[in-house]
Amino acid sequence: MGQALFYHLTRQPLEATLPVLLERALERGWRVVVRGSDPGRVEWLDQKLWLGPEDGFLPHGLAGGPHDADQPVLLTTDAAIPNGAACLMSIDGAMVGVAEAQALDRICILFDGHDPAAVQHARGQWKALTGGGIASQYWSEESGRWEMKAEG
């Protein structure tokens, strides 16, 4: 059964935080699927990841190509996980189900702490996942560094 980590973004934007989490997941040997809710935003994120520092190349692909199954990191808006990911990173309120969380090693839910609707949605996801028996942690960067604030 997997573990869900909630990341409340208040200091660093998604495009700065996500690459760090992706690198850590890849270091663990996990394939990752990054699930968003808006195709335009996922394409924007794809471009941001390609424009990262040369010494920080992050191998990834945008879903819909012939090599989706081979991607170490696959960006998508779809519920499918064609690359056999062990880790799902949900952005912009993308849905994550309890059964799905049980089947994966790690779920990371990143949400914008400056958007009240995003915070409320993350609270709903917390209740659903913890209510479904998924071990969860809530992390905040409010103090200037990441600190675990709650476990469920």
- Reported as a single tens digit per residue, the pLDDT across 60-117 is 999 998 999 999 999 999 999 999 999 999 999 999 999 999 999 999 999 999 999 9
Evaluate whether 6 touches 112 at the Cβ level (below 8 Å).
Answer: no
**Which residues lie below 8 Å from residue 90, measured CB to CB, with a gap of 6+?**
35, 96, 107, 108, 109, 110, 125
How do the residues of the chain divide into helix, strand and coil, expressed in percent and rounded to 5? 35, 25, 40
Read off the pLDDT of residues 14-70 as tens digits, 9 standing for 90 and up. Answer: 999 999 999 999 999 999 999 999 999 999 999 999 887 666 778 999 999 899 999
Beta bridge partners of 8: 111, 140
Domains of the chain by residue range: 8-151
pTM recorded for the entire structure: 0.94
Determine the residue type at 23. Answer: E
Closest Cα partner for 76 from 65, 123, 21, 86?
A: 65
Record: fold of 8-151: Rossmann fold (3.40.50)
